[in-house]
Chain A
Amino acid sequence: MNDQDQSAPSLSVSDEVMIRINQMHKWYGQFHVLKDINLNVNSGERIVVCGPSGSGKSTLIRCINRLEEHQKGEIWVDGIELTGDLKHIEQIRREVGMVFQHFNLFPHLTVLENCTLAPIWVRKMPKAEAEDIARSYLERVKIPEQADKYPGQLSGGQQQRVAIARSLCMNPKIMLFDEPTSALDPEMIKEVLDVMIELARDGMTMICVTHEMGFAKTVANRVIFMDGGEIIEQNEPQEFFNNPQSPRTREFLSQILLH
């Protein structure tokens, strides 16, 4: 995959458009959080969204599965437009997985039950089949032995890997990551990133809000920089890090790369 990226300057991995965001705006009350967002994401793309806190990057990806409502413009996901229509929202959420900063596992359910909940209730899958799939994904995130424990008994890194497995059990077409490593101890960040890198290698369409620039360099095919609710700059990682166009991007990069 990496080789392909370097040989092909084109940002798209496939021609099929998965997400299309057109002149989208969002307000919290009077506060204009997202301004004129235009973004196309093709199938198989790995996009990293970065920017200072409060720049609207989390809000942007939360709009894609309608955890936040946009007030102007259009969002199309997998050929379906996001509107107030509950049917559309449910249809899109089935195909879009999300991983949160604070994991948001269900503490009253075991790891396995966390993973089978949505396949059983949303996809109407038989319990045995859902459990088989869940176990295979837990194997993939390298914690098959924790299946019968409760989330409260796991470390942060393990919980986040369960959360990833839980999303994958729905067999989503797109995965959204909202600062998946920000709440983790340094020694646990790597185990989560490794899982994400593997996922990217398998061709998953991913949008990650993260400050892990190493991850952006290895995996992303496009990096988006946001500030003040706008997309300031987007480019492939090589160009983005070595040759940032906007002064605001240069300032941001100089601040985080100094560390």
Chain B
Amino acid sequence: MDTATRTYAPGEYPDEKPPIGQSGFLHWVYTNLFSSPFNIILTLLTGYFLYKIVPPAFNWLFVDAVFVADSREHCRELNSGACWGFIGKRFGQFTYGFYPHELRWRVNLTFLLFIAAVLPILWGNMPKRREMLWFSALFPFIGIWLLCGGFGLEPVETSKWGGFMLTMVIGVTGIAVSLPLGILLALGRQSDLHIIRWVCTGFIEFIRGVPLITLLFVASTMLNYFLPPGSNFDLLLRVLIMVVLFSAAYLAEVVRGGLQAIPKGQVEAADAMGLKYWQSMRLVVLPQALKISIPGIVNTFIGLFKDSTLVVIIGLLDPLGIGRASLSDTKWQGLSTEVYVFIALFFFICCFSMSRYSIYLEKKLHTGHRED
């Protein structure tokens, strides 16, 4: 019957548009928001809560907020919203901690150079990328010199560092050092050499079995017992080592998952071509394994970045420490909401950027059709 009504030759049926109501905005609204009574109730409830929460929050944050003020009383006289004037007054401390005022340019310069160093690593198609990567390799030394001083610059003790600067130092160092270490640990855990495998497995299991805060306490107190008396091992450095070891252990497990997802045939093909172990790892296995592990790796990075606030417990003045200290100022008492919202915003921007970058990277590295 159908063949009789067919008016086109085989292979010539035109590409038609899908029927109306099966795609487009209204279709989306219908299927996602109003497809069933239960869905309608959920949509209405959500709408009600958003209406109750978003406008007041917006008013408090922006409309009724005071951006310049001298004290809490002054704020309250001017308007009823958030008192951002307080943050404005303390902004320097939130950013630099107690880094000497006249030397803060060194922190700013380090930050600018940091951007310049990270850009070629993150941006694969950057013009002159190769030359810029040399600068990226040099940056750690320049950064340490600028921040710590010495060699012609006035030295600044790390105990004076604080605020976002301290968070960035811990976060960036932690990420940059723990990733290669984590990869080595993951490879070591899969090694055919028993001793290497046992050492790596033992290390990973030990570090993962202990809370970070415990490791930080060990860094701040116990490490001194193991070191020769009189040696003054910088506290920040000790903290950095612990943070690096901690996240390296987690990264190792994330990367191991990626390694296990690579079919055995990949290594066999590389072996059959005569590639050496490290070549086949670097050129064939790791690029694929790391690509699969990106979500887990970034997840660990974000965790590490936020966990850097734990250093407040052993007396380093990260943003939370600065916030707590500034709240004891009698002129500004009772403004903890502003302080914590501000700090939360900083962390959110950093972590959200990392998450978006990881999505971009996954898309960029996606080649060809997926098997599934």
Contacts and interface: CB of A to CB of B under 8 A. Distances in A.
A and B associate in one complex: yes
User: For chain B, which range describes its interface: under 10, 10 to 19, 20 to 34, or 35 or more residues?
Assistant: 20 to 34
Contacts of A98: 269, 272
Given A100-B269, A117-B283, A108 B367 contact: yes
Given A90-B276, A152-B369, A100 B284 contact: no
Interface in B272-317: 272-276, 279, 283-284, 287-288, 291
A93 interface: yes
B228 to A, nearest CB: 42
Contacts of B274: 90, 93-94, 118, 122, 170
A209 B287 CA distance: 31
Main SS class of interface, B:
helix
A151 B270 CA distance: 16
Interface in B120-161: none
A106 B269 CA distance: 9
B209 interface: no
28 contacts: A67-B268, A67-B272, A90-B276, A93-B273, A98-B269, A98-B272, A100-B265, A100-B268, A102-B263, A104-B263, A104-B266, A104-B269, A105-B269, A106-B266, A106-B269, A106-B284, A108-B291, A108-B365, A117-B273, A118-B275, A121-B275, A122-B274, A150-B368, A152-B368, A153-B369, A166-B273, A167-B273, A170-B273
B167 to A, nearest CB: 34
Interface string A79-121: 0000000000010011011101010111110000000011001
Contacts of B369: 152-153
Contacts of B283: 117, 121
**Band of interface residues on A:** 20 to 34
A108 B268 contact: no
A61 to B, nearest CB: 11
Contacts of A100: 265, 268-269
Nearest to A170: B273
Contacts of A151: 368
B271 interface: yes
A21 B284 CA distance: 31
B367 A150 contact: yes
The 9 closest A-B pairs by CB, nearest first: A152-B368, A104-B269, A118-B273, A104-B265, A150-B367, A93-B274, A98-B272, A150-B368, A94-B274
A86 to B, nearest CB: 8
Contacts of A108: 287-288, 291, 365, 367
A65 interface: yes
A67 B368 contact: no
A236 to B, nearest CB: 29
A102 B264 CA distance: 11
Nearest to B276: A90
Contacts of A65: 271-272
Contacts of A96: 272
Contact of A67 (B271, B275, B287): B271
Nearest to A101: B265
B350 to A, nearest CB: 29
Given A107-B368, A121-B275, 7 more contacts: A65-B271, A93-B272, A104-B265, A105-B269, A117-B283, A152-B370, A166-B273
**Residue in A97, A100, A118, A170 with the greatest tally of chain B CB atoms within 10 Å:** A118
A149 B269 CA distance: 19
Given A118-B273, A153-B369, A107 B279 contact: no
A103 to B, nearest CB: 8
Nearest to B264: A104
B368 A121 contact: no
